[in-house]
């Protein structure tokens, strides 16, 4: 596994032609895709797609994209579209990904791979059958802080990892957007489940899930995933919608790694950058997708640039193996199953 993004890009040649992207799904994150893609040299956004016509027209007009669609198949079949990014709702990943695969178009799919193992396997089967370049957008692997921890561990600087704890909690008002469609360990937990496996370099062998409810949604709004790794390490991932709506950042997140020779803390992006103004207190994101001159940069841009280079080279992305994306989902699904059964599950 490459230790840095620079090393990772040795798998992909320098871009020598323009890659023309289409973006499917134009919610908040899909719009960020458009913003980030437009900052990358050798990339052009030529089409966007939303099932809501007014939204498709709005984004196309706002960013100067010449084509907009409400039909996903028409976008992926368009001869001017070389590759697509898919930022649809978590439980709406199967159809657009299969359409892209059938059209032979490389695709970057936002995490999670899917919300069920059955849907994940449908996507994997289509991707492999049609042989497209494909990657799931596990953005933490492109966050320089997490990459540095990975590099330190692989270089022997941390010693053996004993325990890891991560929290990724959203504001309470966001519960209504997600919790009738996807559970916390799948919606947010796959980020930290994946990154713990990646950093630790060992497999999860047992998982326990613990859920609590304050709100009346399909899925619980408080969730803990407890993992036991083959090398003896423990990992805990806390998710949910616990944060006050007045919290000055869109998410409260952290990672703590306790190892023989090092103790490491990573905190919410912007935690040490505070703005006090007439609008109140704000902690702007300076890591994932900071908006500079109207466009998104940071880890999201790095992720999309890496994928675009792999499209040019024809190499499957190696920084986020498809098998890892499926495994993170599987562990999250098993955590939910464990919480319902009240017993640990071997994985």
Shared-domain flag, residues 109 and 81: yes
CA proximity to 221, closest of 230, 233, 210: 210
**What residues have CB less than 8 Å from 120, skipping those under 6 apart?**
113, 114, 325, 326, 329, 330
Q: Do 335 and 275 share a structural domain?
A: yes
Claim to verify: residue 175 and residue 67 sit in the same structural domain: no
Amino acid 294: pLDDT: 76
Q: Are residues 190 and 109 in the same domain?
A: no
Q: What pLDDT was estimated at residue 65?
A: 98
Q: CA 229: distance to chain centroid? A: 22
- Per-residue pLDDT, 6: 41
Judge if 20 and 33 occupy the same domain. yes
Cβ-proximal residues to 118 (8 Å cutoff; 6+ apart), any chain: none
Look at residue 15 in the predicted model and tell me its pLDDT.
Answer: 44
Indicate whether 289 belongs to any domain. Answer: no
> How many folded domains does the chain comprise?
2
Q: Does residue 70 belong to any structural domain of this protein? A: yes
What does the alpha-carbon distance between residue 293 and residue 302 come to, in Å, rounded to a whole number? 17
Are residues 148 and 14 located together in one domain of the fold? no
- pLDDT per residue, tens digit, the chain (347 aa), is 444 444 444 434 444 479 999 999 999 999 999 999 999 999 999 999 999 999 999 999 999 999 999 999 999 999 999 999 999 999 999 999 999 999 999 999 999 999 999 999 999 999 999 999 999 999 999 999 999 999 999 999 999 999 999 999 999 999 999 999 999 999 999 999 999 999 999 999 999 999 999 999 999 999 999 999 999 999 999 999 989 999 988 899 999 999 999 999 999 877 888 889 998 988 888 888 888 777 788 999 999 999 999 999 999 999 999 999 999 999 999 999 999 999 999 99
Residues 106 and 179 in one domain: no
> What was the pLDDT predicted at 287?
87
34 and 153 inside one domain? no
| CA separation for the pair 31, 110 (Å, rounded) | 13
**pLDDT in the model for residue 190:** 98
Please give the pLDDT value at position 17.
75
Q: Is residue 81 part of a domain?
A: yes
Please give the pLDDT value at position 279: 87
Range of the domain at 235: 144-284+328-346
């Amino acid at each position: 596994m490459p230790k840095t993004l620079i090393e990772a890009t040795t798998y992909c040649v320098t871009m020598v032609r323009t890659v023309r992207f289409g973006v499917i799904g134009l919610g908040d994150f899909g719009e960020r895709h458009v913003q980030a893609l437009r900052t990358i040299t050798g990339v052009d956004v030529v089409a966007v797609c939303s099932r809501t016509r007014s939204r498709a027209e709005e984004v196309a007009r706002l960013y100067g994209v010449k084509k907009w669609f409400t039909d996903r198949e028409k976008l992926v079949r368009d001869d001017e579209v070389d590759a697509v990014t898919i930022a649809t709702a978590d439980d709406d990943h199967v159809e657009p990904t299969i359409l892209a695969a059938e059209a032979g178009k490389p695709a970057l799919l936002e995490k999670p791979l899917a919300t069920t193992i059955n849907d994940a396997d449908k996507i994997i089967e289509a991707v492999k059958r049609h042989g497209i370049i494909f990657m799931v957008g596990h953005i933490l692997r492109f966050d320089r802080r997490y990459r540095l921890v990975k590099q330190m561990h692989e270089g022997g600087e941390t010693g053996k990892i004993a325990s890891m704890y991560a929290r990724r909690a959203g504001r309470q008002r966001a519960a209504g957007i997600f919790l009738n469609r996807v559970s916390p360990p799948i919606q947010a937990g796959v980020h930290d489940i994946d990154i713990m496996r990646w950093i630790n370099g060992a497999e999860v062998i047992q998982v326990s899930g613990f859920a609590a409810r304050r709100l009346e949604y399909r899925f619980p709004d408080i969730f803990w995933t407890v993992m036991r790794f083959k090398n003896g390490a423990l990992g805990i991932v806390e998710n949910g919608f616990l944060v006050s709506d007045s919290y000055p950042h869109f998410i409260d997140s952290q990672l703590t790694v306790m190892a023989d020779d090092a103790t490491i803390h990573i905190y919410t992006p912007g935690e040490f950058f505070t703005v006090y103004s007439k609008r109140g207190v704000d902690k702007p994101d300076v890591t994932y997708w900071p908006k500079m001159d109207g466009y998104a940069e940071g880890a999201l841009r790095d992720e999309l640039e890496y994928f675009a280079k792999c499209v040019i080279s024809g190499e499957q992305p190696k920084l986020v193996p498809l098998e890892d994306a499926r495994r993170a989902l599987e562990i999250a699904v098993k955590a939910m199953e464990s919480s319902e059964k009240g017993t640990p599950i071997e994985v």
